[in-house]
Amino acid sequence: MNKRAVILLSGGLDSITALAFAKAEGYACYSISFDYGQRHKTELNAAQRLAEKYGVVEHKVIQIDLRTIGGSALTDDIDVPEVAQEGIPVTYVPARNTVFLAIALGWAEVLQAEAIYIGVNAVDYSGYPDCRPEFVTAFEKLANLAIKSATEGKPIYIRAPLMSLSKADIITHGTALGIDYSETISCYQADAQGRACGQCDSCRLRRQGFAEAGLADPTRYQ
Ligand code: ZN
């Protein structure tokens, strides 16, 4: 049996690059997306298309409505800002990566997967606490205390291959691994056709990344 990995796939630029890293490591890839009440469902469609295009074994969409909790511009009635803010931005979704990784961990144990890949990044990460290396290290420790297979001598690894890369480096690596970014959606408020606003923090970082990588920006803007 090929070694397996579960990849958190959002439909964005970072997570598809994380998947490309997992494939390059020789993993049979199982991708997971979350329908969590985000503003636009187009990213879920993008994740589905990307999963098919890049040959994952199985793609799963989990329904978990984080609007019940609220507290974020992505899940509550709070505007997405068009200028960079002080501190942690309102687009932070309370405990999102903890919740997502916990569910991915359950699936990984069922699959007897060796690793979970998450496309978090500490360079251009906008200040989200659940994108820090300390968080990933701590979750890996928790994971190995939490699951039955780890107590039976089969540890699980949480991989964050983009952690120390700039957006430009991520784009350069992903392009070299054969990723076409035209189908990815990074915008916090993409329209129903998946076209980006060009104004939000995520759009700004992405555009800057393509410019610094010296590559044409394939993003479809409104
Ligand atoms: Zn945007």
Q: How far is the CA of 22 from the centre of ligand 1 (A)?
A: 27
Look at the block and give the residue holding tokens 């068009």: 82
Q: How far is the CA of 102 from the centre of ligand 1 (A)?
A: 28
Q: Supply the pTM of this predicted model.
A: 0.92
pLDDT of residue 71 exceeding 80: no
User: pLDDT > 90: what percent of the chain?
Assistant: 71
Look at the block and give the residue holding tokens 């076209």: 195
Q: How far is the CA of 195 from the centre of ligand 1 (A)?
A: 9
Q: Which uninterrupted H or E stretch holds 60?
A: strand 58-63
Q: How many CA atoms lie within 13 Å of 201's alpha carbon, on the beta-carbon side?
A: 19
Tokens at 105, concatenated: 């961990």
Nearest to 38, CA basis, from 66, 79, 71: 66
Chain segment 21-55, per-residue pLDDT in tens: 999 999 999 999 999 887 778 899 999 999 999 99
Q: Which domains does the chain have, with CATH numbers?
A: 4-213 (3.40.50.620)
Ramachandran class of 126: left when φ > 0, alpha when ψ lies in -120 to 50, beta otherwise = left
Q: How far is the CA of 201 from the centre of ligand 1 (A)?
A: 7
Average pLDDT (152-156) is 95
Report pLDDT for 37: 85
